[in-house]
Structure 1
């Protein structure tokens, strides 16, 4: 695991349960690896740099990323420290999940807010700042935690006590 990789977390609780239900995946949180044992993440307190304290997570890397791009992702992420968390964007992802379940197309950027973001959108924007795109089929920031892994541009590298992959 190195700076510029990202982790997907298998969480628990009501919000995690909702994400897992709509996405049909246990991955419910995303964070950017910023150091040997630290991550940059969007939490209810905003964008923070924290020690890795999760019990269950997987590590992913961008396949063709250069060391310069990986460093650039971390630098970009740190430049966003302190920005707010978007509960509205979480709600937008839930509505999009319902729309997709009903056979309708998702609405990109539904309920997104300026200067506020959710965890997976944060990781996506850090990557896109360096021209790395996990989901070219989605608009910038319009990706859920498991959606980051649904790409031929990334690969799984490490398993830390996962329930499932």
Structure 2
């Protein structure tokens, strides 16, 4: 694990259960690795740099990126420390999940807010800041934790007690 990699977490609890239900995936949280067992993450308390304290997670790396791009992702992420969390964007992801279930098109950026973000959108924007497009089929920031795992631009490099992949 090195700075610029990211983790996807399999959480538990009511919010994680809701995310898992709508995403049909066990991945319920995303964070950018910034140091030895340290992550940058969007939490309900805003963007923070914290030690990894999750029980079940996987570490992913972007394929064909330079060390300079990885460092740039971390620098970009740190420049956003203290920005708020977007509960409205979470609701937008739920609505988009329902739309997709009905066979309808997603509404990119639904309920997104300025200077507020959710965890997976944060990881996506850190990557895009360095020209790394994890999901070319989605607009910037319009990606869920499970959506990050579906990218052909990434691969899993570590598994820490995941229930399943």
TM-score by length of 2: 0.99
TM superposition shift of 1:60: 0.4
TM superposition shift of 1:96: 0.4
What SS does the aligned partner of 2:68 have?
helix
TM superposition shift of 1:95: 0.4
**Counterpart of 2:78?**
78
Q: Please, which runs of 5 or more residues in structure 1 have no aligned partner?
A: none
Q: Residues of 2 paired with 1:14 and 1:112: CA distance?
A: 22
**Counterpart of 1:116?**
116
**Counterpart of 1:19?**
19
TM superposition shift of 1:16: 0.9
**Counterpart of 1:44?**
44
1:56-112 per-residue CA deviation (whole Å, 9 max, x = no partner) reads 000000001100000000000000000000000000000000111111111000000
What SS does the aligned partner of 2:142 have?
coil
**Counterpart of 2:104?**
104
TM superposition shift of 1:53: 0.3
Quick check: 51-60 or 15-24, which moved more? Answer: 15-24
Q: Residues of 2 paired with 1:151 and 1:126: CA distance?
A: 15
What SS does the aligned partner of 2:4 have?
coil
Does structure 1 residue 160 correspond to structure 2 residue 160?
yes
**Counterpart of 1:131?**
131
Quick check: 103-112 or 12-21, which moved more? Answer: 12-21
Quick check: 16-25 or 104-113, which moved more? Answer: 16-25
Q: Does the 8 Å contact 1:32/1:39 carry over to 2?
A: yes
Q: Residues of 1 paired with 2:160 and 2:37: CA distance?
A: 13
**Counterpart of 1:54?**
54
Q: Does the 8 Å contact 1:134/1:149 carry over to 2?
A: no
Q: Does the 8 Å contact 1:7/1:60 carry over to 2?
A: yes
